[in-house]
Structure 1
Amino acid sequence: MLRINGEIADPGLIEDAFARFKAEAEMLSEVSCCERDEEFRLQAEEETIDGILLAQEAEERIPPPEAEEVRSAFEQTLRQWREHGASWDLLDAQRESLRAETISRLRMERFTTSLWQDLPALTEDDLHAWYQANVARFRTPPTAHALHLVRFPEGSDPWDDYAAMLDLRKRALDGEDFAELAKAHTKKRGGEVDLGWIDQQRIFNPFEAMLFSLREGEVSPVFFYEQALHLVKVVEAREASVQPFEQVSAEIREEVERDRRLRVLKDLATKLREKAVIERE
């Protein structure tokens, strides 16, 4: 059980945050199964603590909203629940808790507005500086549509396999259709020869290094990678590009503004922790 200044944290809030942190890491392929669950749970608890501390501070600083404002906001809340399929019986059962949540939300909105009102206005120079520092985020990597022929050396003398691949490359360079050669001679299980579009993501990977050194329509030399001999042909290629500032300036402004506001809240939560009583049971 987690208690902040005497208030018991809702376990559901912690579980929701835990699931979000873990899902984000899984999307980035940074985690498998349960190896970092303890870390994610701690992050979830810390986020919940910050949220409760800020909500408590909002209640202390901001007076309750006027009855008319509560009524209007509460009706909007009920409409939203109904739009998402909630029955009137469910809403009646949850009426008091929903009303309390509505009042808390109104106070928090007024509270955060007061915290953010003194932030200096963002300038174009601010946005340009952020863009330059994060330009890699707006870079589209080179991409190539590739055909692939692979052979796994099986005999005692690997020269036979290498010579066969050299001959296949020569035939392709002499005008034979690479796709047909690949279909007839690839040793890949399943016989797939069309790799589709591949983005360059690992510049030191031998396969990608070879593929993205080729020009459109070019057949690679025979090369060895992951215990196999390979030939690839680039059917079509697209060069790397960077989205211009003008195209992403609105997105940048939104993100920079959001980050500044979150930093204000985080800094305040850090200060509130200094005098808070946080108990884990």
Structure 2
Amino acid sequence: MPTLTRPARALLGGAAAATLLLTGACANSNSAAQGAAGSASATAGAVEPTGDIPEITGSTLVLRVDYTGGFVTPAMLATRIPMISVYADGRVITEGPTTKQYPGPALPNLQVQYVEAADVNVLVERARSAGVQNGVDLGQPGVADAQTTRFTLLTEQGVQTVEAYALAEAAGAANGLSAEQVRDRELLSGLIIALQDLETTLGPGRVKEPADYQPAAIAGVAMPFQQAEGDPAQTEKAWPGPALPGTPLGEGLDMGCVSAEAQAAKDVLAAAESATAITPWTSAGKKYTVQLRPLLPDERDCDDLMKRA
């Protein structure tokens, strides 16, 4: 199992930094992940975890950058895919290139890569040095309808989160921010650049080639189907998962969310391969548009998506 240790050097203005030191063979990791993650020995001086530390398995989220808010639809809020998610077993999950073809595919192009356990630690250290810790005040720039960039990091002190409203939109200008807030935002922007180019950040040959992410579960946000003017005709498909529309997303919203796992997830994924983003799905005699969202290793159902929206 991974061990939490304290390194000798200090980060973040002299505060003792907690580094998540990971072994490459978590008890609950699958064999493919184990082989890619490698092996790293726990260093001397290991200490017991303090704070709100989850039980660490291969599917434990270590580092994530995602978005909240912004001028988007409720369905997009619920199904938005994180920019990057790094897990304890070395999996790194991102969204791959998208097609400009319309209508696009029903399933998003999620990609998984693997890094060594020691390189997971490198990314943790990078996030710590960029200032990902609770309580950081990044200000509120005068920008309307922008999204918030959220950084989440697992450390020995627990899960650390920092949120930056309009991080990209307010870059390079004061916008009512203090000099310290501008500096802190630049550090976080630099972290994003580093995470988007892992080959440069970690070194040549340190990142495995990407492969299609194979989810164990999938969620779908369903709303009554309406043929939009100008859309090409689509073939109806029978929905093979739990009955639509599912759990309501919110008061006054004519949409719901369902999640499927095990064989039901396989059935939905198989059917989605020949569907598009505007395919009408039929369930109990009604037609729906369903926005599909493969669930990530740390997500179980629609509730997890709504917590992060």
TM range (shorter): under 0.3
Q: Which has the higher contact order (CA 8 A, sep 6+)?
A: 1
Larger radius of gyration: 1
TM-score, length basis structure 2: 0.20
Q: Structure 1 or 2: larger strand share?
A: 2
TM-score, length basis structure 1: 0.22
